[in-house]
Each structure stands twice: as C-alpha cells, then as structure tokens.
Amino acid sequence: MRIVLLGPPGTGKGSLASLCDEKLSVAHVSTGEIFRHEIARGSALGKRVQQYVKNGRLVPDELVVEVMVKRLASPKFVKGFLLDGFPRTQKQAAGLDAALVKRERPLHGAVYIASPQDVLVRRLSGRRVCVGCSLNYHIRTMRPKKAGICDRCARPLVLREDDKPETVRKRLKLDAKNAAPLLAYYKARKRLYRVDGRGHIDTVYKRANQLFRKLGWVRALHA
Ligand code: AMP
C-alpha cells in the first residue's frame, strides 16, 4: 500500500500514520520529522531548511521532492509506505508520481483527513512533542503519565516552534491556499479519498482502516 495522507496541520495525520505503522506495519515517513531531525543534528540539509521550518514557510518543492524520492528508494519501503506532510503542492505531487511510476510502483491513493477549523486550532495549540523520539502528546487529550516527560523515552516534551499561535495561523492560511489545487490534482486522477478526522484517534483509525480494507490496500500490503 502506497498512500499519502492529506489534510491541514492538526488534523491528526501524524497520529494516524503512527497507528497504521504500529497496527498494519506500513512504514510511515513525515517530511516535518525528517526536517526537524536534520536541523537538530546540524546537517547540511538541516541548514538549508532551517529558516523555512522555523517560520512555518514551505521548503522549496525541488528540494523536498529530491529528499523524499531518495528516501523512498530504501528497501524499508518495498512493501509500501504512508506519507505524512508530503506532498504539500501540486508540483510535489507530480514529482512524486513521476518517480513512483518510473519505479513501476505507482501511488494507490491520497487520503484526506477532514476536520473543522476550530478543532484544528484547539489541537495545535495544545500539542507537545518529545525532543527525543518525536512522539506527539496533547495537554488535554493525550497527556503523558508524568507532566512534561515522554512516556516512551523520558525526554522532555516541548511546544514546537511552529505550533505557537501566530505561526499556527500562518500555517493554516498557507495550507488552505495550497490544499485546493493539490486535492484537485488527486481528484482529477480518481485517487482522492476522504476520512472524517473528528473524534478520538482510535475512531479515526477505525474509519481509515475500513477504507483501506474496502479498497484492498491492506491485502496488497501482506501479499
Ligand atoms: P509538519 O511537521 O508536517 O507540519 O512540517 C513542519 C514544517 O516542515 C513545515 O511548516 C514546512 O516548513 C516543512 N515541511 C514539511 N513538509 C513539507 C513539504 N512537503 N513541503 C515543504 N515544506 C515542508
């Protein structure tokens, strides 16, 4: 199963991707996580993307496509993958398609996780992320056992630079502008699916899993 998860920041793509990874064994890749990791370790790539990520601006299409296409060539993704946060523009979608078609492993579909705006703002401003393993928490709905500390690796939880309110507003605005043509791109190719992102993450996972099974993607994963 080769799919991309679409939807605004805060709609639960990351949490859903982690659950699919855990329950369906489909490797997931998040461009945001890749970039934050590279920035933290001070690599050449990290230095190139640092200012964009810090200011909530999109990293240039050519660079993101190059990074992702290279990464997806890894044997780890032979069975499939689930992409979170990529593509974000039509140009990135076309770049991804071109690379996958060339490898004779085309994308199965794009799954849009839909949530109303007020839900997004509430979720984003309360989100905390572990500095060690990038696991997401929420100050109201997904608290760690010990306040401010990751359950999994015991490192501190922080408010992401780009989850600060003014950056969140910028991200939602930018995302709305980019989302329409991206959705149109997959719709025109009859590969766009929609999952209701409201409610608890387990409920959203159930809805997504039902869709994946209906489309035969889960079977393809274990073939
Ligand atoms: P995310 O964790 O997906 O919200 O991404 C955090 C930041 O990384 C974004 O605000 C962008 O600066 C950058 N980024 C992540 N994915 C992409 C992408 N597909 N295209 C351009 N920039 C991206």
Would you list the domain boundaries of the chain?
2-117+179-222
pLDDT in tens, 169-182: 888 888 888 788 99
Q: Which atom of ligand 1 is nearest to the CA of 86?
A: 19
Determine the distance separating the centroid of ligand 1 and the alpha carbon of 53, expressed in angstroms.
6
- Amino acid (1-letter code) at residue 74: S
Write the CATH number of the domain with boundaries 2-117+179-222: 3.40.50.300
Instruction: Assess whether the C-beta atom of 32 lies below 6 angstroms from ligand 1.
Output: yes
pLDDT at 90 over 80: yes
The pLDDT score that the predictor gives to residue 171 is 81
DSSP secondary structure, 150-216, as one string:
-TTT-PBEE--GGGSHHHHHHHHHHHHHHHHHHHHHHHHTT-EEEEE--S-HHHHHHHHHHHHHHTT
**pLDDT at residue 106, as a whole number:** 93
pLDDT for 119: 86
**pLDDT range class, residue 121, cuts 50, 70, 90:** confident
Please choose from 53, 57, 61, 135 the residue to mutate so as to test ligand 1's pocket, defined by most ligand atoms within 8 A of CB: 53
Q: Which residues pair with 83 in a beta bridge?
A: 4, 29
CB 172 within 8 A of CB 9: yes
Lowest mean pLDDT of 21-25, 116-120, 130-134, 204-208, name the range.
116-120
Predicted pLDDT of residue 157: 96
Q: Give the active site residues.
A: 13, 88, 127, 160, 171
Q: Which atom of ligand 1 is nearest to the CA of 35?
A: 8
pLDDT score for 222: 67
Strand pairing report for 2-6 and 192-196: unpaired
* CB of 56 sitting under 6 A from ligand 1: yes
Predicted confidence at residue 125, as pLDDT, reads: 83
Q: What is the pLDDT of residue 223?
A: 65
